[in-house]
Structure 1
Amino acid sequence: MSSHKQIKIGAIISYLTLAFNILAGIIYTPWMIRHIGMSNYGLYILVNSFISYFLMDFGLGQAIARYISKYRAEQNQTKINQLLGITSKLYLGINTAIFVILIVLYFFIENIFVKLNATEIVLFKEVYLIAGAFSLISFPFLTLDGVLIAYEKFIVLKSCEIISKVATIGLMIFAILMGYQLYALILVNAIVGLSIIVIKTTYLYRQTTIRVAFSYSDSTLLKEIFSFSIWTTVIAIAQRLLINIAPVILGIVSGTSQIAIFSIAIIIEGYIWTLAHALNGLFLPKVTQLHNLENNVEEVTKLMIKVGRFQLFLMGLVFIGIITLGKPFIQLWMGTQFSDAYLVMLFLVLPGFITLTQEIAQTYLVVVNELKYRAIIFISSSIISVIISFVLAPTYGALGCGIGIFTATMLCHVIGMNVIYHKILKINIVHFFTKCFSSFLFPLFLTLLFGYSISSFITINSWFLFIFAGILLSTFYLFVIWFLGLHKEEKTFIKATILNKLK
């Protein structure tokens, strides 16, 4: 099958997976928490969060995809086999180190998570052993996705993703109904994860000529791989320390109920991030082309404004919706015991009002090979977030972590990154904000007032009233944005796009 068709079908499967994840999350998550309990759910999130810090591909997945693509273009299968031999041994070495770390940490669990009671500590240890064993078995196979990408096997890759999601939730529902509760969540994840590894490995063995050369060594190539992946690794670690470490902090200073509350805010933030990044990556070739032009920065800025305005148009309603209707949604979805997740969600999501409009600048940072600045920003924001979270979480729980993340994101990713865009990339940031936001601010403000008016006059205590309020808000938003926010050429583009879809 052609590369173009692989990408097209793979993209369709990706959107199906996204739709399934959102639908399953809305329906399955509250059902699951009701059956296993808030405390057990908090333990489940805590175990996964704690172990995840030690299990990442350290940027090697991207390096493998890059080098295999290069060697495939050269039709050098021997080099591919040698590359995989080197990286496989590297993964096994890292895996051994992680094994030792996880074993040592096991004996200090009571000292780390002092807010867990005796029963929760026992459960945590048992689940920790199961999840840790699966993670160590699966870690050396993290190369599989990079290989599938390099061989342009997008259909297999994306099919495995949706099969994994459907199978995991289906088996979890069955296991919970059979009374297994917390253990079911961990065991099902392990069983499905190992099955997917077997499917991917079998496919690559049968459909490609890959045969891993374990005996091969090349210190020069190993240095190249490390050089390529170092900043990606730094960013990946810092990203986890910014948000994903919050459950661990709460496990240390607060408790499982606050972990559960924070996890609900994380779920919603994840859905919004996924929707906002639907365009992510599509502009890399375009930005690369613009970089080669004489007036490249000016052209990149124009594209940044154009994409930023459409992102603001699409996501403006989402932001206003979660501000005005977010609390009744959480109460209807998860119950009143999760009401505190509303403020946490706002702190996690609202910085995206700025950052999500600047995807082109982030892409340009990659094109000009200045990713180290983003890595430094991520490290700084993670340190600030962790410090503030440890100070506030003992008193304010999940909200304290939310405040820490919000403060760090605003200082580093909003203010800091815009300084980098201006100083390093030479982008006229003032011009960007003026052109991108000026015509949208008034209609967004009107929609915000309208949303608060709806929530004041309508007591939203049912899904019917929530949907009704959502339709009213959406209709008003589209009306004021169309007449007060969008430029003439943007309206023309939207009309043409809709007409083409209807043909």
Structure 2
Amino acid sequence: MKNVINQRKAGVILSYAGEMVKIVVSLVYTPVMLRLLGQSEYGLYQLVYSVVSYLSLLSLGFGSSYLRFYSRYKAQKDESGVAKLNGMFILIFSSISIICIICGSIMIGNIHNIFGTGLTKQEYETARVLMGLLIINLAMTFPNSVFNCSITAHEKFFFQKLLILLQNLFSPFLTLPLLIMGYGSIGMVSVTTFLTFVLLFSNMFYCFKNLHIRFEFKGLQISLLKEMWVFTFFIFLNQIIDQINWSLDKFLLGRFAGTTAVAVYGVGGQINTLYLQFSSSVSNVFVPKVNRIVAETNDDEQLTKLFTKVGRIQFMVLGLILSGFVFLGTPFVKLWAGSEYSESYVVTLLLIIPVTVPLIQNLGIEIQRAKNMHKARAIIYLAIAIANVFISIPLIKVIGPTGAALGTAISLIVGNIIFMNWYYHVRIGMNMIYFWKEIAKFIPALITPCGVGFLIMKFAHVSGIFNVFIYSIIYMVIYGISMYFLGMNTEEKNLVMGPVKKIIRR
């Protein structure tokens, strides 16, 4: 048990280390990449990526069901059942990988019909190559998900998060030389595909050598496959919704406003993606525990406390990023991406402000899945996501990238905030009154940093790398001190000071 707790701690620390590396690398690498690619080619890359990402829907949500069924067999101590589960999953995802390549080839053959008349002849040629590489990259991620899920199920978070950290670190160092040599977006995607292959090989090696996982292909239970499909169908709907919310905007902008508008939205979307990933750094390591609690006791009080504990930690981290971006985002975007991307500041705010609430509650998604109560969420979200499309098209025609982000913001507020909090409280059994009371305890801790941030935004006239850096450090220090003394409970203070005390003792 102690080893599992250490793995969770290591997983959280490495997750945040990985995200910090990714942020630092993005701060340094992205401006260089944007200038080497140019606004048009960056927009083309974002457009092609958003289209190919729809092929990820071929997974049909099966990856998310692994932990649920693994936890069931482990609770029953059925090692043969686990081996048959592995066998079924590797067959499913290998088949999906082949289908992905076939569908991708058809997409490449119909590239003019997909993108309409919005691209030049040269952009179509580049798009074909990008699409081919991205399809190969995606095809490798399907079998990799089996090994990745197995590592998560065994709670070996140190290895898993270390790989992601190294991937974030090596990606720009391999990409930049190719960009400087003039290989453009094709060179960038080639590196991504190579690193995906390395990740697949590393996960396979670790699973076979360290976890000794077995695959059984005899006596596969067709009834289990049917049960999986009933469970995963609504996860599949959620994946469709995510694609609509986070990828369709770029496609619509490409159709109605051109690649330049896609690039502006893409910068805001990239910041939003980092924000989304940062939020899952804590919750991901608790997924096996959630499934174990549901499988063994299904104790709603225990789940609510875990849900709230993780939510508070995520709020403290996301609150720093969000409030800091509100006050320093305009000079940051202009400095980081260029003055031609200034509209990306508004796009980013429209995306990250409404998504903050579901992000601090994202452990609830795993609780729903563990309880097999994720169906209603999927159906409501799908209806709202479709409405998002009809809202976004006229808004895009009037205010471009900002309109696309506004349409997404409206759908997030209605579905992810209003509906989901009602659903958690009334249907899932979470005590949301308790949850929000605990979150509200942070309000006194936010007053001082937000006041300082407002003064910086109003009177400091921040510009230049040095000024942005200094004011960011000042804001972080004030936020951290205020949160420590006015916001954190005893357990959270120990979580912060524990590693510090160990370092001091050594």
Common fold, TM-score beyond 0.5?
Answer: yes
How large is the Cα RMSD of the aligned pairs? 3.7
Summarize the Cα distance change of 1:434–1:63 in structure 2 as closer, same or farther, 3 Å threshold: closer
Equivalence for 2:55: 54
Corresponding position: 1:195 with 2:193: no
- Alignment equivalent of 1:169, drawn from 157, 169, 172: 172
- Report the AA paired with residue 148 of structure 1: I
- Report the AA paired with residue 232 of structure 1: I
- Tell me which moved more, 82-91 or 359-368: 359-368
Would the aligned equivalents of 1:85 and 1:216 in 2 still touch at CA under 8 Å? no
Would the aligned equivalents of 2:67 and 2:153 in 1 still touch at CA under 8 Å? yes
Matches within 5 A, 1:296-335: 311-335=314-338
Summarize the Cα distance change of 1:17–1:417 in structure 2 as closer, same or farther, 3 Å threshold: same
Would the aligned equivalents of 1:392 and 1:400 in 2 still touch at CA under 8 Å? yes
Equivalence for 2:401: 398
- Report the AA paired with residue 453 of structure 2: G
Equivalence for 1:186: 189
Would the aligned equivalents of 2:50 and 2:248 in 1 still touch at CA under 8 Å? yes
- Alignment equivalent of 1:237, drawn from 235, 240, 248: 240
Would the aligned equivalents of 1:348 and 1:406 in 2 still touch at CA under 8 Å? yes
Equivalence for 2:23: 22
Equivalence for 2:423: 420
Distance 1:83 1:379 in 2: 30
Equivalence for 2:228: 225
| Structure 1 position 335, deviation (Å) | 1.3
- Tell me which moved more, 393-402 or 58-67: 58-67
| Structure 1 position 405, deviation (Å) | 0.8
Equivalence for 2:132: 129
Summarize the Cα distance change of 1:430–1:201 in structure 2 as closer, same or farther, 3 Å threshold: closer
Distance 1:442 1:137 in 2: 48
| Structure 1 position 4, deviation (Å) | 5.2
- Cα deviations by residue, 1:254-310 (Å, 9 ceiling, x for unpaired): 22222222222122223333334443256664898699999x767766776676556
Would the aligned equivalents of 1:308 and 1:357 in 2 still touch at CA under 8 Å? yes
Would the aligned equivalents of 2:14 and 2:165 in 1 still touch at CA under 8 Å? yes
Summarize the Cα distance change of 1:411–1:118 in structure 2 as closer, same or farther, 3 Å threshold: same
Corresponding position: 1:91 with 2:79: no
Would the aligned equivalents of 2:307 and 2:364 in 1 still touch at CA under 8 Å? yes
Equivalence for 2:454: 452
- Report the AA paired with residue 138 of structure 2: S
- Report the AA paired with residue 42 of structure 2: Y
Distance 1:64 1:366 in 2: 11
| Structure 1 position 14, deviation (Å) | 3.0
Would the aligned equivalents of 1:330 and 1:342 in 2 still touch at CA under 8 Å? yes
| Structure 1 position 329, deviation (Å) | 0.8
| Structure 1 position 388, deviation (Å) | 1.9
| Structure 1 position 334, deviation (Å) | 1.3
| Structure 1 position 237, deviation (Å) | 2.5
- Alignment equivalent of 2:282, drawn from 257, 269, 279: 279
Would the aligned equivalents of 2:290 and 2:370 in 1 still touch at CA under 8 Å? no
Q: So what's the TM-score if we normalise by structure 1?
A: 0.84
Equivalence for 1:384: 387
Equivalence for 1:262: 265
Equivalence for 1:142: 145
Would the aligned equivalents of 1:77 and 1:210 in 2 still touch at CA under 8 Å? no
Distance 2:143 2:128 in 1: 24
| Structure 1 position 330, deviation (Å) | 0.8
- Tell me which moved more, 186-195 or 448-457: 448-457
- Cα deviations by residue, 1:152-196 (Å, 9 ceiling, x for unpaired): 544443343233333332221222223222220122222222233
- Cα deviations by residue, 1:117-148 (Å, 9 ceiling, x for unpaired): 22212211222123223433553443221233
- Report the AA paired with residue 349 of structure 1: I
Equivalence for 1:464: 466
Q: So what's the TM-score if we normalise by structure 2?
A: 0.84
- Report the AA paired with residue 188 of structure 2: L
Equivalence for 2:110: 108
Would the aligned equivalents of 1:86 and 1:216 in 2 still touch at CA under 8 Å? no
Which blocks of at least 5 consecutive residues in structure 2 are unaligned? none
| Structure 1 position 84, deviation (Å) | 3.6
- Cα deviations by residue, 1:378-413 (Å, 9 ceiling, x for unpaired): 313321222222222233222121001100001111
Would the aligned equivalents of 1:247 and 1:259 in 2 still touch at CA under 8 Å? yes
What is the SS of the residue equivalent to 1:54?
A: helix
Distance 2:77 2:292 in 1: 26
- Tell me which moved more, 74-83 or 385-394: 74-83
Aligned residues: 497
- Cα deviations by residue, 1:345-382 (Å, 9 ceiling, x for unpaired): 00001114533444565565445432223222331332
Would the aligned equivalents of 2:75 and 2:295 in 1 still touch at CA under 8 Å? no
What is the SS of the residue equivalent to 1:126?
A: helix
Would the aligned equivalents of 2:331 and 2:462 in 1 still touch at CA under 8 Å? yes
Would the aligned equivalents of 2:257 and 2:400 in 1 still touch at CA under 8 Å? yes
What is the SS of the residue equivalent to 1:350?
A: helix
Matches within 5 A, 1:474-493: 474=476, 477=479, 486=487, 490=488
Distance 2:69 2:131 in 1: 35
